[in-house]
Structure 1
Amino acid sequence: MQRRSGGYRAEAPPGGGPDPRRVRLVALAGVVVVVLALPLAVASAGPVGDDGSPSARGAADDDRPPSPGPRRSPLPLGLGLATAARCGPELSSPDGVEAQTCVLTQGEETWARTYYRNATGEALSSALTLMGPGGRAVQMNCAMDAEDDPGACETPREHTAGDPGAYSAVAEFARSAEGPLLLRSGSNSGRR
């Protein structure tokens, strides 16, 4: 900037391009918007299993009784700003299944959630497995309607044992429990 009598005058950046300060400011504002919108986007799918139906309850692989049902929170769908999410990539199969699988930690609880969309035109089954330290595993079986609406499936919340980073989750989607695998989505990496 050069000082002129009565004020400052902004100089055009060299090369006539956009002002780098303005570009940085716009980029920073975009990052802030994404950070603020992420918890709302994650919460928009909401927990599956609130209705208590057998297809939404699932079963634990180890001999422990299942965790109590979901708890209500004043925050949207129980996800607050203190919820840590480690998600794998968004994947899609040629058959029309899309999914992203996450491990969520809030306070001293950890659970897995997979977000999906079933565009196959037929009902599918999915198995979501949360794997923790010491070989602990919890599996949830979820039925997916034939409608092309986004949905979610999650395991019961478990008391976090050890480092939350030691947990991982995998969701597998098939036409039936015995049918061929259509898509496998993981919290750490995606494989088909």
Structure 2
Amino acid sequence: MLRLSGGRRAARPRHGGPGPRRLRLLALGTVAAAVAALPLTVASAGQVGEAGRTVVPAASRADAKTGGHGARRSPFLLGIGLATAARCGPALTSPDGIEAQTCVLTQGEDTWARTYYRNTTGGPLDALLSLMGPDGRTVQTHCATGTDDEPATCETPRERVRGAPGAYTAVTEFAAHGPDGALLLRSGSNS
């Protein structure tokens, strides 16, 4: 029997259910489990870290290099798929009506460049996205920009990381359409 204040005794539950002490222990265990699960919840929603570095979990996808037979195994697995790290420069807007942000993305052993842009000029643009690696290698992609003002993206092909992922940079140059088109905006991943 348990003693309560005032000299009365409390009877143990007859049905064998949890007493107050067990309920407190169960509540404490639930809180501990929730606290332990919080980092996984944040990781699945995406995290923003130092210097604009973003980590976004992505489900494992078929790698084009393996013919759609599954992604390569990677040391960057978080248990919920491959993590994609993004190093992005600032979002820029030109007086001519171009908005852009350029990033270097790394997922597992692959890296590539991506630019997010919006063309509000009303006319076509010439855009060139370049990914520059630590070994002097550059991969370039001509981006087809529409004349509407809807947000869009453009990416370089993925390539295997050579050296440190942080040694890669990306630049996008937007110019007026034509061979003599003036440069309207330059957006970089490390600006």
Query: When the two structures are superposed, what TM-score results if normalisation uses the length of structure 2?
Result: 0.59
How far apart are 1:187 and its partner, in Å?
0.1
Cα distance in structure 2, aligned partners of 1:126 and 1:108: 27
Would the aligned equivalents of 2:55 and 2:85 in 1 still touch at CA under 8 Å? no
Question: Relative to structure 1, is the Cα distance of residues 90 and 42 closer, same or farther in structure 2, using a 3 angstrom cutoff?
Answer: farther
- Cα gap change, 1:68 to 1:87, in 2 (>3 Å): same
Match of 2:184 in 1: 182
Residue in 1 aligned with 2:29? Answer: none
Kept in 2: contact 1:69–1:156 (CA 8 A): no
Shift of the 95–103 alpha-carbon distance from structure 1 to 2, 3 Å rule, reads same
CA distance in 1, matches of 2:67, 2:145: 20
RMSD: 3.3
> Greater RCO between the two (CA within 8 Å, min separation 6)?
1
2:41 aligned with 1:36: no
The 1-side partners of 2:189 and 2:68 are apart by 24
Q: Is the CA contact (8 Å cut-off) linking 1:112 and 1:130 kept in structure 2?
A: yes
Alignment partner, residue 93 of structure 1: 94
Number of aligned residues: 130
Runs of 4+ in 1 over 3 A off after TM superposition: 32-35, 67-74
**Partner residue in 1 for 2:139:** 138
Question: Offset of 1:160 from its aligned partner?
Answer: 0.4
Q: Deviations over 1:54-88 (max 9, x none)?
A: xxxxxxxxxxxxx85996989xxxxx660000000
Superposition deviation, residue 125 in structure 1: 1.4
Change (3 A) 1:134 1:34: closer
Where 2:174 maps in the other structure, the secondary structure is strand
2:165 maps to amino acid: P
What is the alpha-carbon distance in structure 2 between the residues aligned to residue 70 and residue 149 of structure 1?
Answer: 32
Structure 1 residues 71 and 113, CA gap change in structure 2 (3 angstroms): farther
What percent identity do the matched residue pairs reach?
61
Deviation at 1:36, TM superposition (A): 2.3
Shift of 1:176: 2.1
Secondary structure class of the residue paired with 1:122:
coil
Change (3 A) 1:36 1:81: farther
